[in-house]
Every structure is written in C-alpha cells, then in structure tokens.
Amino acid sequence: MATKLVKITEIPENSSLAVLVGDAGRLQVALTGAEKARWEALPPKTDFLLLHRLPEFILLVRPQSGKEPAALAESFRKAGAAWAETIRREKSEKVAVIGDSGTAATLAFAEGFLLGGYTFSRYKKEKEDFMPGTLEILDEGITVAELEELETVAAAVCWARDLVNEPLSRMTAADLAGAVSIEASGAGVTTEVFHRQKIEALKMGGLLAVNRGSVDPPTFTVMEYKPEGHLNDKPVVLVGKGVVFDTGGLSLKPTPKSMDYMKSDMAGAAAIAAALVAAARNRLPLYLVGLIPATDNRPDGNAITPGDVITMYDGTTVEVLNTDAEGRLILADALSYARKYDPMLVIDVATLTGGASIIAGSHGICAMSEHPEWMEPLRECGEEVYERIVELPLWEEFAQPLKSDIADLSNLGSREGQTIVAGHFLRHFTAYPWIHLDIAGPAFLFERDGYRPKGATGCAVRLLYRFLKRIK
C-alpha cells in the first residue's frame, strides 16, 4: 500500500514526529532536559538526531548553513529516507512531519520519505514492505495540490523501479508493453503496441536484428497524451531503450556484476513511460509522445553475428561488429520513427554504455545535444531534483570510428570516448532538436544510497517530469 500525504493544521498526539527545524533553531515540540542536551551537543555537520520516546520517535532535522539550495534539498530528501527506514523497522502506524524550514524543505523531506520507503518484496515469503497508510504534513505554506503532485511523481518513480526489478521471466517485451498499456490507460494516455508483423512491415531492421536470437517476439509501444488546450502543436517525444534483458548476444557479457543485472537494460523505457504517465495524471498541458522499442538480446542459432549488415528503418545500412552494442540499434529505429511527428524536441533515455558509468559513476547522467536552448533548462532541472547532468561534447572526431568499409555505419566505433561515439551513432538518425541521456550509472545500484534503493532507482523520471513542467 502506498503512503498518502495528508495536510494537517495542528501537531498530532501519539505520533512519531519528524521536526524540520527552522533557521533560527526554533523547535515546535518540547524536549526533555536530556533530549535538549543531546540536541545542543550535536556535531555541526550532522543533519539530524533521532530521539526514542517509545513507542513513538522524534526525528529532529536541521538545515546546514552554507549549502546551495539544491544540495540543501537533497539533504532533506536523505533525511526523509532515513526516517522511512526507521518507521518501517519499527512499524509505526501514525507518522507526521512538522515543517519549519520552508516549504521546499518539507516537500523534499516528504519526497525522500516516499522514495526511501520503497521495497521490492514480491517474490519473498517474508515481506519487508511495511509503510504507514498516511504521512501527515504540518506546514502552512504547502497546498494540497503540491502534496498530490509529489505523491503522483513518487508513485511513478516506484512504478518504474518495479518494471526494472522484474526478472525476464516476468517481464518480456510483450509483458512490458502490456504493463505500460494498463498504467497508461488509467492515466488517460492512449497506447498502440506494434507486434512482430507490424514491425516487419515497417522494416525496423535494428529492432528485428537484436530480437533474432530470442524466443520471445519484440514489441514497439507508442504512447500518446494530447490533452485539450495543450500548449505545443508539435509534440515532445520521449524515447526509451527497452532491452528487457541483455546477454550481449553472441558478444556474450561476463558475469557477475555484468550480465546478472541486465534486467536493468530497460530502465530507459521504464523512465519515459513513468514520466509520461506522471505528466498525464498531473494534467500537464503538453502534447507528449512516448516510443518504446523492446526486446531481449540473446544468443542462439539465428542470432545476429558480428560482421552482419542490417538495414535500419530509415534505410541506413549498419555493419554490426559487436552484438552487445544493441541498444543503439533499437533506439535508432525509434528515433527515425519519431520524425513522423515533426517533434519540437526528442529526448531519448537509455542505459547505453559502460563508459557513462566510468564518467559520472552512479551520481550523474551523461548527456549530449546540439541544442543549448533545451539542454540548459534540462541541466537546471537536474540540479533541482539531484539527477545531475554531465554534458559531453559531440565532437566530430568521435564520429570517425563509426565509419564502415562495407556499410553506411558501424555499430561499434572505438573504446576511446565510447559514450560520445554511441551518441554520434544515435545522432545520425535524428533530424530535429534532440537530447540523449545515458543513465547507465545511476539506473541500478548494488547498495542503497539514501532514497535510492539497492536495485532499480527509477532514474530520470523526476528529471523528465520537472523538465516537462517547465515547458511553456
């Protein structure tokens, strides 16, 4: 059961309380002498103090002076996640937040609580998913609408995490298309799913080539949200890589910490679907389209082989030199298909290269674009939600390795600058304002990091939503 955010007007009794202390150090709850002494003795760089008043708890959170607004908000998110862990462990039924650090801090704390409370226990006998039914919010400056919006976005992030955390046995390309269709329908988003026959008729050679080694058919899902009074005649198109499992094909990946977590290779698809659904549920006045090419990448006797030449949806021929560079092949077909919409902007999201993890680790998203008028506001949104962006240059030198002796392009390029090389490959299939986001680093974690759980993180959902909300 998801936790609901409820606005209240007075401090509740018999509740565990998170108290966000104001800049002046004012406390809205009375402390005992011993509690006050612990609070006053707190080291300067410590953000919060947990006080035990069994069966209730009090969490005191103070803002750190000198922090930039984005970093300060992030500290409140992490405090909210820590609070969620305590509440889950202790199974506290009544929980409230008393905000006195500004509405931004209160919202960030509540966001961290909702995201930090996430678990994926579907396949465990002993569930670990306890969370209270409501989180009461006392902050005069916050509106009910703001709480509802936050709740919707957090739920979208958690849905994206669920999609990615599902194993291939429960999340084939067809399963992904079905899950997206159901969720989209509930949000007022129309979907159309292309199956193999339609994909073959469209001659999406990249998607079909990657799928050749699989026993499960590919899908291509089209999402469309076009509300009355939308602000943009030309849509914003979101494209997500939907490789539901990547063995590497005949260019087989090693394991562990390589192939064993490759259910995460559809995190881009999950992100764009969730962001679009959140935008629809919150009634953003935008015309939006989502495109999800989906398949797994497996080796068998019919699998694509290194050296094969394939013909893409737009007619480009590609020499496949590494079958583990498959994401760019299915994305290329989707990016070419996006041209039919004459879009105002296309953003693709993908766990595309290991190089992105080396550049930004799990803390940043690698991005490429030739359109600063779109890139700069997206970067600003990344700072605000702390899904920060490292922009890489599309230098022409990195396009050279993609030349093939026998085809228009090679799919491999060079190890040097591999993330930029992959961006150049995608760039070939665009003819409109375009941004590429490589989320390979932050999409899936091996250890919990604050409100980002071990496993799927739902990376880029909050970033995309914040960006879409800014479009006028």
Please give the backbone phi and psi of residue 217, each rounded to the nearest 5 degrees, phi first: -75, 160
387 in Cβ contact with 379 (< 8 Å): no
Q: How far apart are CA 374 and CA 290, in angstroms?
A: 18
What is the chain's percent helix, strand, coil content, to nearest 5? 40, 20, 40
207 in Cβ contact with 312 (< 8 Å): no
What are the beta bridge partners of residue 18? Answer: 59, 97
Between the CA atoms of 430, 328, 236 and 272, what dihedral angle is there, to the nearest 10 degrees?
180
Peptide bond into 442 cis (omega under 30): no
286 in Cβ contact with 468 (< 8 Å): yes
290 in Cβ contact with 273 (< 8 Å): yes
329 in Cβ contact with 411 (< 8 Å): yes
Catalytic status, residue 253: yes
- Catalytic-labelled residue, pool 263, 328, 427, 466: 328
For 151-172, letters b (16+ CB in 10 Å) and e give: bbbbbbbbbbbbbbbbebeebb
- Catalytic-labelled residue, pool 7, 226, 253, 339: 253
The angle formed by the CA atoms of residues 444, 107 and 264, to the nearest 5 degrees, is 10
Q: How far apart are CA 460 and CA 387, in angstroms?
A: 7
The string of DSSP letters for 409-427 reads: EES---STTHHHHHHHHHH
Beta strand pairing call for 219-225 and 190-194: antiparallel
CA distances from 275 to 56, 112, 157, 459 (A): 36, 18, 8, 10
How many CA atoms within 13 Å lie on the side-chain side of 342? 3
Q: How far apart are CA 369 and CA 374, in angstroms?
A: 9
CA distances from 222 to 91, 96, 288 (A): 41, 41, 11
- Burial label for 54, CB within 10 Å (0-12, 13-18, 19+), is exposed
Beta strand pairing call for 134-138 and 95-99: parallel
Would you please indicate which residues are annotated as catalytic (active-site) residues? Answer: 253, 328
